[in-house]
Amino acid sequence: MRFCNRLRFQKKFFDRFSSSYYFLNFLSFGLANLTRKRSLKTLKIAEGETVCDLMCGDGSNIGIIKKKFGKNPILGVDISKCMIQRARKRFGENNVTYFAENALSSSIASGSCDAVSCTFGLKTLSAEERRILFSEVYRILKPSGTFVFTELSRPKYGFFFLLWNFYFGQFLPLFGRIFYLPFVGKKYLSDSIDSFESVVKDEKNVRSVFSQVDLFSWYRGIVTGFYGRK
């Protein structure tokens, strides 16, 4: 019951948030887009390979992949139909297949993807849901397929810790209330990041599923993640 309630909340919330999602890249002063590009590079995608972007939102990763690999088959999965509609409107359907589905239990065929990415989605999931997601990624990857999970994390100390607290604790909520951006106005983003902390807490679970796992920490701990191979 609790899982179903969270699912309904996420659908409703991200449907509502879909029209203003693109503001996040501007509010991050380009860090979000820079992180997406750097994250996707770890997959070492080759021409013709099938790439799946889980929890794809309005398709920002899809746009980056299409720009570099225009002919690669791309799968975009998101629980929000409104997000999928915006992704389809932005990037069309040429070589892209969209799934308005739960990334934890999609209809994507087993062993059909060469690479899987998930950017800024882990923090919206509970620990149990993340374990399910890791298993789902394993299921849809081809043998020796690659993956990357990338997430925002709170720096632990120093100047960046202070800057983080001001930006997420004061600036973003105020900006969100003024311009009616619920994702930041109600501190959903900052609270989600605080609760998630970093990918380190999931290291044991990820290593238990995949044969090769490497952790990374970028921008003084503002971004953390895993990449590796099935």
Mean pLDDT of the chain: 87
More confident of the two residues 5 and 32: 32
Is the pLDDT reported for residue 187 higher than 70? no
Number of domains in the chain: 1
Query: Letter for the amino acid at 120?
Result: F
pLDDT, one tens digit per residue, over 16-47 is: 676 666 666 677 778 899 999 999 999 999 99
pLDDT band at 215 (very low <50, low <70, confident <90, very high): very high
pTM above 0.85, yes or no: yes
Q: Is the dihedral of CA 57, 65, 226, 213 positive or negative?
A: positive
At 196 the pLDDT is: 75
**Stretch 108-134: mean pLDDT:** 95
* d(C-alpha 120, C-alpha 17), whole Å: 15
Is the pLDDT reported for residue 54 higher than 90? yes
The residue assigned the tokens 């746009």 is: 63
At 98 the pLDDT is: 98
More confident of the two residues 58 and 25: 58
* d(C-alpha 113, C-alpha 54), whole Å: 12
Is the pLDDT reported for residue 143 higher than 80? yes
Name the residue range of residue 108's domain: 2-229
In this structure, the number of other CB atoms found within 10 A of the CB of residue 67 comes to 10
**Stretch 82-107: mean pLDDT:** 95
In sequence order, the 6+-apart residues with CB closer than 8 A to the CB of 81 are 11, 15, 100
* d(C-alpha 220, C-alpha 159), whole Å: 10
pLDDT band at 159 (very low <50, low <70, confident <90, very high): confident
In this structure, the number of other CB atoms found within 10 A of the CB of residue 122 comes to 25
Q: Which CATH number characterizes residue 127's domain?
A: 3.40.50.150
* d(C-alpha 175, C-alpha 181), whole Å: 8
Is the pLDDT reported for residue 135 higher than 90? yes
At 5 the pLDDT is: 57
**Stretch 92-113: mean pLDDT:** 96
